[in-house]
Each structure stands twice: as C-alpha cells, then as structure tokens.
C-alpha cells in the first residue's frame, strides 16, 4: 500500500510538471502572436526555438529504445538531451548520433524505474532550447 502512495505522488508530480510546461508553452505562443506586426510574429522567443520529437510516443515498455529528432531553430547544434528531471531521469543511455543545427538525431532507452505517466524531454541546442512530452504506458 505504501508503494502505491509513493507511485501516485510521483505520477501526480510528473503530471503537474507537464501541465506547467504546457501552460508555459501556451503563454509563450500567445505572447509571440500578440504583436502580428513584428517580423517574428508566430515564432517562439529567442532561446526557445528548437523543435524536438520523440518516437515512438507513447512508449510501451521499460528499456524501449526511442529516437529523438528535431531542428535547432537557429542554435549551433545539439549539445545535450535530458529526459525527465535530473534526480528522476526518464531516459537513460542517451546517445547523440547527429548534432547538426538543421537536423539532429539521438537515441535513448526508457529508464527501468519508469511507470505510466508523462514527462518532459528537453534539448539544448547551443543557444536554443526545446521541449516535448513523452508519454509512457508500461
């Protein structure tokens, strides 16, 4: 029973973090579109223009290999990938295979301790950052 409470708290914490990421993304997008007369109308602010996708998403088992791709949005190239949070990583064995600024490619495995839930996958592209959500259904 005690483990169930800890798991519930963990899932709720990750869900709350995902909701904050989504709310911030909506706020940023709303702010960028607020002044359509500027050249950057519709673009995220400088520093947050990298795009990232994770496939397959949702994942279906622990240890499953995922592919992380995207574009650095003006950044210098892929520097690092973080899945989850530093003290509770959702991805392990992260390998950057191509770090180009126009297209990057990385591979990773879903951590063995991950359960059902949703969490962020962050990329650092040397001056630009990006985030997406990874859904796990294991």
Strand order in the sheet with 51-55: 51-55, 65-71, 104-110, 91-98
Structural domain spans, the chain: 2-136
Architecture of the domain spanning 2-136: Sandwich (2.60)
Burial class (CB in 10 A: 0-12, 13-18, 19+), 133: middle
Residue-by-residue pLDDT tens, the chain, 138 positions: 444 555 445 444 444 444 445 444 444 444 444 444 445 568 889 999 999 999 999 999 999 999 999 999 999 999 999 999 989 999 999 999 999 999 999 999 999 999 999 999 999 999 999 999 999 998
pTM > 0.85: yes or no: no
Per-residue CA distances from 36 to 22, 32, 39, 62 (Å): 22, 8, 8, 44
């Amino acid at each position: 029973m005690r483990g169930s409470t800890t798991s519930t708290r963990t899932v709720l914490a990750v869900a709350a973090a995902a909701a904050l990421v989504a709310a911030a993304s909506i706020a940023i997008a709303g702010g960028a579109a607020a002044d359509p007369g500027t050249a950057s109308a519709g673009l995220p602010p400088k520093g947050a223009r990298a795009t990232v996708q994770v496939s397959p998403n949702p994942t279906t088992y622990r240890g499953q290999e995922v592919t992380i791709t995207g574009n650095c949005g003006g950044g210098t190239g892929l520097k690092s990938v973080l899945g989850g949070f530093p003290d509770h990583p959702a991805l392990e064995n992260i390998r950057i295979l191509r770090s180009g600024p126009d297209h990057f490619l990385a591979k990773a495995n879903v951590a063995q301790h991950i359960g059902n839930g949703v969490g962020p996958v962050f990329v650092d592209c040397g001056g630009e950052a990006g985030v997406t959500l990874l859904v796990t259904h294991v």
